[in-house]
Amino acid sequence: MRHVPKDRLVWALALLCGCGEPAAEPKVAAARPVVAAADDSVGYDLRRLRPRDEETLAVMFDRQLAQAAKDGKRAAVLFSADWCEPCRQLETELGNRHPASAIGDVRILELKEEDWVAATRMDEFDALRRRWTGNTGSYPLLILLDEKGGKREEMKEAKERLNAARAPDTLAHWFADTRPAG
C-alpha cells in the first residue's frame, strides 16, 4: 500500500504566507502528491525544545545540535507559533511520512513561541533566532543548517531555487536535494 500526503504544497504555502501577525486563511493551491512506499516510509524526526530551569536555550540547542551530528543527522531549526496559520499547515506536513531516503537524515529542532513566552524567556528565543536572521517576528522560519550549525538554506530560499530549477518544491524534496554527495 502506498501513502500519499494530502497536500504537498503545505510548506510552500507557509513560505508564501509567512506570518508576522495572525492572518486570514491562505488559499490552497492544487497539489501534486508525493508517493512513498509504505515499507520505506518514515515520519519527520522532530524534536521540540521547551524551557528547562537548569538549562538556557542556547546550551540546550547546542547540545541537541551536537546530538544530531553524533546520530549522523543533518539539522534544521524551525521557529513557529500556534496562532500562525502557515505554521499549523507546516505542522500538518511534518505529520506526514515520506521515503527514508528523502527525509530520514534530517532532525528538525522546533521552537514554539508560546513555550518561551509562557516561561518569560523570549529573549533567549529571539537571541537564538538572531544566529541566522535579524527578523524576530515572522513565522514560520525553517532553516537547514550546515555541519557547523550555520545557515545552509532557508525554506523560502529553497522554494525559489527549486522553482527556478523546475523541481518539486516540497519539504521532502528540499531535504533530499540538499543531501551531501557521497
| Nearest alpha carbon to residue 92 among 174, 170, 10 | 10
Between CA 139 and CA 125 the distance in angstroms is: 13
| Residue at grid coordinates 495572525 | 22
**CATH code of domain 2-21+31-177:** 3.40.30.10
Q: Report pLDDT digits (tens) over 3-34.
A: 434 444 344 444 444 555 444 433 333 333 44
Q: How many helices (H) and strands (E) does the chain have?
A: 8, 9
Distance CA 23, CA 88 (A): 12
* pLDDT score at 38: 52
Model-level pTM? 0.80
Pairing of strands 141-145, 74-80: antiparallel
| Chain segment 87-98, per-residue pLDDT in tens | 999 999 999 999
